[in-house]
Amino acid sequence: MNCKHVWNYISEYIDGSIDDELRAQIESHLEHCEICSAILDSTRNILYLTADNRTFALPVGFSERLRARLEEEMAKSTDSP
Ligand SMILES: [Zn+2]
């Protein structure tokens, strides 16, 4: 499990539609990775802002923008685990 793996599953992780084994792996990564923890927090905030009472939907282009942002963070933080 590395940062990119976590990012691939982050929406499923937040949504809860992920299996227990994968969730455990992501949580153990989050414990030692500040980048992914920060990304998880900000992604959650965005989702709470955009979700209505009943449906869970990402705005158009959200995942592309998130992915681009993550690539930027990854490039800046090559000295981190
Ligand atoms: Zn990470």
* Residues in contact with 24: Cβ distance below 8 Å, sequence separation at least 6, in sequence order: none
Structure tokens at 31: 């414990």
Average pLDDT, the chain: 80
Rounded to the nearest angstrom, the gap between the alpha carbon of residue 23 and the centroid of all alpha carbons in its chain is 12
- Which protein residues have their CB within 5 A of the ion that is ligand 1? 3, 33, 35-36
Measure the CA–CA gap between 81 and 78, rounded to whole angstroms. Answer: 8
Measure the CA–CA gap between 9 and 28, rounded to whole angstroms. Answer: 14
Query: What spacing in Å lies between the alpha carbon of 32 and ligand 1's midpoint?
Result: 8
Q: What is the pLDDT of residue 61?
A: 72
pTM: 0.59
List, for residues 36-58, the tens digit of each pLDDT value. Answer: 998 888 887 776 665 555 445 55
Higher pLDDT, 27 or 11: 27
Q: What is the pLDDT of residue 74?
A: 81
Query: What spacing in Å lies between the alpha carbon of 41 and ligand 1's midpoint?
Result: 13
